[in-house]
Amino acid sequence: MNILITGATSGIGKQLALDYAAAGHHVVACGRNEQALTALQQQFPDVIAGQQLDITDAATTVQNLRGYTDVDLVILVAGVCEYVDMNEFNADLFARVFEVNVVGTMRCVEGLLPNLKRGSKLVIVGSTARLLPFAKAEAYGGSKAAIHYITRSLQIDLEERGIKVLSVSPGFVETPMTEQNDFEMPMQVSVEFAAEFIRNGIEKNRLDITFPRTFGWFLKLASRLPQSWQLALSRRFKNAG
Ligand SMILES: NC(=O)c1ccc[n+]([C@@H]2O[C@H](COP(=O)([O-])OP(=O)(O)OC[C@H]3O[C@@H](n4cnc5c(N)ncnc54)[C@H](OP(=O)(O)O)[C@@H]3O)[C@@H](O)[C@H]2O)c1
């Protein structure tokens, strides 16, 4: 398969790139970090190609991605997380987070969509944060709720073109992103587990790839409770931190 992965320079995206390359697939690894891209290419010179990409740069993102005309699988992983400080509330933080997680992700779709073939797959990484309001996660959780909605709409709209759109919602995964968290992260999984779960889900065409399973079921159940119960649960998570 020819696979294009954004956010391939770190964490989940990097592990996916390495695992797919180890299985012999051709991978275009995208990200801003040139050194990390070079290291990936050096590890698998025959099958990994690096593409430097800042998805907040509209023109270059679309232009660069238009050049990929034979992709079987796209996995849009690139994302950022910033927590809101109620004492220094600043809407610019929302702009930064949404610019990468939502607008940047859609820029990648804009660049790739014209050349996506019937039978190809488009996989978009969100988060289980979309399922329950978490403290300080107004921007991050909001962006992931938005991207999940967008992904589900794309599932309908790209059906006719024969493109399968899959949504990924990870729980806590050990990556540089979660290293910054100073709160308890229940049921955190390794990046290797995350990449394997995602690859299995993609192979089986699962529309909703949520993991770890128990954490996902718990949050999905919680998201159906009355809002006052959800708030009580969110408070417990906040106080556990
Ligand atoms: N780790 C978790 O617990 C967890 C849980 C739920 C969801 N997720 C989601 O999973 C995805 C990957 O997270 P991770 O934990 O693997 O994070 P990570 O290790 O911090 O990796 C983030 C990746 O996004 C890329 N990126 C960030 N801004 C970019 C930009 N402007 N242009 C292009 N690429 C950019 C980074 O590449 P460069 O710096 O090279 O540009 C990097 O490769 C994110 O969407 C995140 O929200 C993670």
pLDDT tens track for 93-105: 999 999 999 999 9
- pLDDT(23) > 60: yes
- pLDDT(237) > 60: yes
- pLDDT(15) > 70: yes
Other C-beta atoms closer than 10 Å to the C-beta of 90 total: 11
- pLDDT(240) > 70: no
User: Which residue carries 């089986």 as its tokens?
Assistant: 204
- pLDDT(241) > 60: no
Other C-beta atoms closer than 10 Å to the C-beta of 220 total: 15
- pLDDT(2) > 70: yes
Structure tokens at 162: 């024969």
Q: Sorting pLDDT into bands at 50, 70 and 90, what band is 182?
A: confident
Distance 107 CA to ligand 1 centre (A): 16
Residues 3-23: what's their mean pLDDT?
98
Query: What's domain 2-240's superfamily in CATH?
Result: NAD(P)-binding Rossmann-like Domain (3.40.50.720)
Domain limits of the chain?
2-240
Residues 53-65: what's their mean pLDDT?
97
What is the biggest distance separating any 2 CA atoms in the chain, rounded to whole angstroms? Answer: 55
Residues 231-237: what's their mean pLDDT?
88
- pLDDT(166) > 70: yes
Structure tokens at 20: 């797919």
Phi–psi pair at 199, nearest 5 degrees = -65, -40
Q: With a 6 A CB cut-off, is 176 part of the ligand 1 pocket? A: yes
Phi-psi region of 167 (alpha: psi -120 to 50; beta: other; left: phi over 0): beta
Residue type, 78: A
Distance CA 203, CA 180 (A): 32
Q: Best mutation site among 53, 140, 175, 184 for ligand 1, i.e. most ligand atoms within 8 A of its Cβ? A: 175
Q: Sorting pLDDT into bands at 50, 70 and 90, what band is 238?
A: confident
- Positive or negative torsion for Cα 17, 22, 28, 32: positive
Residue of 184 and 43 predicted with greater confidence: 43
Residues 220-224: what's their mean pLDDT?
95
